[in-house]
Amino acid sequence: MQREAKAEMGGGSARPVSLRVGAIESVQHSRLIDWIQRMRGMHRELELELTVVTSPVLAAQVKRGSLDMVLTAMPAAPWTT
């Protein structure tokens, strides 16, 4: 499934824009592929770097700037700084 998601967001543009997305496994299977297809249709230059791990790992990665956005099931409170 992760390879499908990456394939959907593959290159095609001379000036690609990279988006580092993190998601939990359940989101990947339920909603992520549809979202990727819609984004790909609107933004051909977009390249996706997909990370699929647990919510706590995603929280740590977004806090340190390793990811641009995450799709997770974690409550918002622990994310505040």
**45-71: b or e for each residue (b if 16 or more CB lie within 10 Å)?**
ebbbebebbebebbbebbeeeebeebb
Q: Tell me the domains of the chain and their CATH numbers.
A: 2-73 (3.40.190.10)
Tally of CB atoms within 10 A around 20? 17
Residue 9: the pLDDT is 61
| CA 70/CA 60 separation, integer angstroms | 11
Q: Give 19-70 pLDDT, tens digit per residue.
A: 999 999 888 777 888 888 888 889 888 888 999 999 899 989 999 999 999 9
Give the pLDDT band (50/70/90) at residue 13: very low
CB 40 within 8 A of CB 9: yes
Please report which confidence band the pLDDT of residue 8 belongs to, taking 50, 70 and 90 as the band edges: low
